[in-house]
Amino acid sequence: MAVTNKDEGLKRVVGITGLSLNIVNLTVGAGIFVLPAIVGVELGAFSIYAYLFCGIMMAAIMLCYAEIGTRITSTGGSYAYVEAAFGDFAGFTVTWLAVFGWSILGSAALMNIIADSLSVVFPVFSNPWIRGLLFFVLIGFLVLTNVRGAREGVAFIKVITLMKLLPLFAIAIFGFSLINSSNLHWDHLPSLNTFSNATLVLFFAFAGFETALGVSGEIKNPKRTIPFGIMIGGGLVLILYLLLQTVTQGILGADMDLFKDAPLAAVAERIVGPVGGTILLLAAAVSCFGAVSSDVLNTPRILFAGANDGLFPKFLGKLHPKFATPYWSIICFSGLIFVFSISGGFKQLAVLASAAILLIYLVVVLAMIKLRLKEKNTNEKVFKVPGGMIIPFIGIASITWLLTSLSKLEVISSIIFIAVICIVYVTMKFIKKRAAS
């Protein structure tokens, strides 16, 4: 059963290339520039196997998204999937977790990393007023681009994704000749605790792909595009991460701890000299801006879908009369990113992010299972994860394991946040019922 009736007026313009690059752009953010050292210091040459292990866990979740994404093809991504399986309240909760607990806070953090990276080369960006102006210009540009259409938003994402990938693949390619093979040998296994901690960090380096499905109501031929786009995008991310870890570990080796704040910059300096560090700083800024641009394209569609279901104010469900885009959702979402960017308030709330994304993944996998069982007798052709329930079980087990690794503060913050969501939902329903009567 493909649900599409909520998307009247939207244009299906996103193809496989657009979706896969959107996924890469969302996943490869600021973390990649320090990730090789975080993992390398803990695991040494064994770190490559941690990437493969994490890739298997994330692949299980991605495949579940691919299946449910071909069953529910309406706008909203995770929200649409959960709402179709479990109803309004579950969809409302996932929306708040996705929009406020993950996207807005993450994008605000990335905007500040952009300013911090630029301030190393151009100290003027340390001035709070100049930073605020920078945020306003960059976010304003994204608003104008995405209000003009999903096609324009995806076109910009394709360009900026290629810009962020060029220096990263250049490091991987030109760094191979500098690898010392002895740095890639490991003589003992890491402890289970050390491996678990490193894997937890790595898992979140793969997170974010699901946001690309926010534009599911604007994806061309979703039953083909979604599974192919997810697999291509996820595969590119894994290959890139493996190449960068191998090159960084092979070049820096035991010296990794000396460059733990900027391992890729250290590798770039060894390849092209001192200018390499500057290039990587600018590449980090571009990478962060790319991730924010994908967020501004995708996440407002979740608000749009929720508004059309009566869960948010009606104006968020309005389409632009000329460009057929959810312009009020784009403006409001981007405005909140700007507010948190200049206030720094995201730092206090960022503790919610890890738990938020894990809970979203868990509920979506469960939704996929429910819809599969509900529609098992249908003859409609949809992508189906092979192996019965093995892959969904791997996804659930992985998410459950990572949830048990969260800190006490993360768990308490998440419980409070969900409690607030429940109060808001009940209040909204009460007000609507009173208004109707």
Tens of pLDDT, residue by residue over 136-159, are 999 999 999 999 887 888 888 888
374-398 per-position pLDDT tens digit: 876 555 677 888 888 999 999 999 9
Cα separation, 193 vs 220, in Å, equals 44
Nearest to 97, CA basis, from 362, 328, 319, 399? 362
Q: Which two tokens stand for residue 231?
A: 């697999």
The pLDDT of residue 80 is above 70: yes
295-324 per-position pLDDT tens digit: 998 889 888 888 888 888 888 888 888 888
Q: Which two tokens stand for residue 261?
A: 């704040």
Choose between 42 and 344: higher pLDDT: 42
pTM score of the predicted model: 0.86
Mean pLDDT for the chain? 85
Q: Which two tokens stand for residue 302?
A: 């979740």
Nearest to 93, CA basis, from 435, 430, 428, 421? 421
Nearest to 227, CA basis, from 67, 3, 387? 67
Nearest to 5, CA basis, from 66, 57, 53, 76? 76
Amino acid letter, residue 185: H
Nearest to 21, CA basis, from 205, 224, 251, 294? 294
Report helix, strand and coil shares of the chain as percent, to nearest 5: 80, 0, 20
Residue in this structure with the two tokens 């299972």, named with its chain if needed: 369
Nearest to 168, CA basis, from 66, 297, 268, 73? 268
- Give the pLDDT of residue 3: 42
CATH superfamily of 13-436: Amino acid/polyamine transporter I (1.20.1740.10)
Residues with Cβ within 8 Å of 36's Cβ and at least 6 positions away in sequence, in order, are: 47, 244, 245, 248, 249, 256, 263, 264
Cα separation, 30 vs 85, in Å, equals 34
Q: Taking the CB of residue 3, how many other CB atoms lie within 10 A of it? A: 18
What is the pLDDT averaged over residues 173-189? 84
259-285 per-position pLDDT tens digit: 777 788 888 888 888 888 888 888 888
Q: Which helix (H) or strand (E) holds 221?
A: none
What is the pLDDT averaged over residues 106-111? 86
C-alpha distances (whole Å) from 120 to each of 102, 223, 288 are 27, 46, 16
Nearest to 341, CA basis, from 112, 134, 31? 112
